[in-house]
């Protein structure tokens, strides 16, 4: 495969935290049979973004799209991710690297979160 | 209003981070005209959860549903939020307090995030 999608998440100490990101990876991979789909983390969990992208390049991937699985655009996306992306472009000059917006900024994701909030009041867990 | 929904988010140093949470609050409030809808934060932003709930109780709210606007269940939801909820129940014995699951665990939200990831590869930004 020459294309890859990297779902970039924060990371946490609790292993349970990664479960929805792993489901997201599996659901996405099922719909993109011609694209490698991987998880990578900013901190606390492995692999970190540079290692994940290096592995993909070693496998022959020529184009990587990074989707930040973050709700808001804080310092991690405003500063840390651009720095990481600059480092990746310098380390892999033949790689085409795209960085998407945060999932939480997508209107479809916002609509689904709104539905969930509305349902939570109607029938709280 | 006797019912309220509190969207509980992490908080960040960058003011821009709160934008999607404010949109989520506004979209949710538009669909729940008989329910007060507020944002509250764990850290770094105001109001914090205890202050938000105290204000609602002072306004006459009798039932509060807290929806954690988090993607994964890490230490903040496994430890911090239950401690905050215990403190709120002790401080407001007449209040009915419900705590929902994290938005990131909802199948509808996961499906919308999957759609976004798939679209990002087809047409990267």
- The CATH number of residue A38's host domain is 3.40.50.1400
Asked if residue A114 has pLDDT above 90, the reply is yes
Considering only CB atoms, which chain B residues are within 8 Å of A67?
Answer: 116-117, 120
**B72 pLDDT band (50/70/90 cuts)?**
confident
State the pLDDT at residue B55: 97
- Which of B21, B31, B72 is nearest residue A20 as measured by Cβ atoms? B72
Report the percent of chain B where pLDDT is more than 90.
Answer: 86
Backbone torsions φ then ψ of B64, nearest 5 degrees: -125, 130
Considering only CB atoms, which chain B residues are within 8 Å of A101?
Answer: 125
**Greatest alpha-carbon span in chain A:** 53
Read off the DSSP letter of residue A48: B
- Number of folded domains in chain B? 1
State the pLDDT at residue B36: 97
State the pLDDT at residue A72: 86
**B122 pLDDT band (50/70/90 cuts)?**
confident
State the pLDDT at residue B14: 87
Asked if residue B6 has pLDDT above 70, the reply is yes
**A122 pLDDT band (50/70/90 cuts)?**
confident
| Dist. CA A35–CA A28, nearest whole Å | 10
| Dist. CA A108–CA A86, nearest whole Å | 29
- Which of B23, B65, B78 is nearest residue A110 as measured by Cβ atoms? B23
Asked if residue A124 has pLDDT above 70, the reply is no
Give A24 to chain B, closest Cα distance, Å: 6
Give B61 to chain A, closest Cα distance, Å: 14
- Structural domain harbouring B66: 3-122
Question: Do A116 and B102 count as a contact with CB atoms less than 8 A apart?
Answer: no
Considering only CB atoms, which chain A residues are within 8 Å of B95?
Answer: none
Cβ-count burial B28-61 (b if 16+ within 10 Å, e if not):
bbeebeebbbbbbbbeebeebbeebbbebbeeeb
| Dist. CA A53–CA A42, nearest whole Å | 13
Residue of A nearest to B99 (CA): A125
Which pLDDT tens digit goes with each residue over B79-117? 999 999 999 999 999 999 999 999 999 999 999 999 999
Question: Do B31 and A102 count as a contact with CB atoms less than 8 A apart?
Answer: no
Q: Average of pLDDT values for A74-100?
A: 95
Mean residue pLDDT of chain A comes to 94
Report yes or no: A9 and A42 within 8 Å, Cβ to Cβ: yes
Question: Do A109 and B116 count as a contact with CB atoms less than 8 A apart?
Answer: yes
Asked if residue B125 has pLDDT above 70, the reply is no
State the pLDDT at residue A123: 63
Considering only CB atoms, which chain A residues are within 8 Å of B105?
Answer: 19-20
Q: Which two tokens stand for residue B5?
A: 């929904």
Which pLDDT tens digit goes with each residue over B14-71? 888 899 999 999 999 999 999 999 999 999 999 999 999 999 999 999 999 999 999 9
Question: Do A78 and B14 count as a contact with CB atoms less than 8 A apart?
Answer: yes
State the pLDDT at residue B7: 98
Which pLDDT tens digit goes with each residue over B74-84? 888 999 999 99
Considering only CB atoms, which chain A residues are within 8 Å of B35?
Answer: 121
State the pLDDT at residue B123: 63
State the pLDDT at residue A74: 84
State the pLDDT at residue A21: 94
Considering only CB atoms, which chain A residues are within 8 Å of B113?
Answer: 24, 69, 103, 106, 109, 112
Report yes or no: B64 and B4 within 8 Å, Cβ to Cβ: yes
């Amino acid at each position: 495969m020459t294309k890859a999608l990297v779902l970039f998440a924060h990371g946490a100490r609790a292993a349970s935290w990664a479960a929805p990101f792993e489901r997201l990876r599996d659901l996405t991979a099922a719909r993109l049979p011609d694209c490698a789909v991987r998880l990578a983390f900013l901190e606390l969990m492995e692999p970190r973004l540079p290692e994940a992208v290096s592995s993909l390049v070693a496998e022959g991937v020529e184009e990587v799209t990074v989707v930040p699985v973050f709700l808001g655009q804080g310092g991690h996306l405003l500063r840390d991710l651009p720095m990481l992306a600059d480092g990746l472009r310098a380390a892999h000059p033949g790689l085409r690297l795209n960085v998407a917006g945060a999932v939480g900024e997508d209107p479809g994701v916002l609509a689904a979160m709104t539905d969930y909030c509305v349902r939570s009041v109607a029938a709280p867990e």
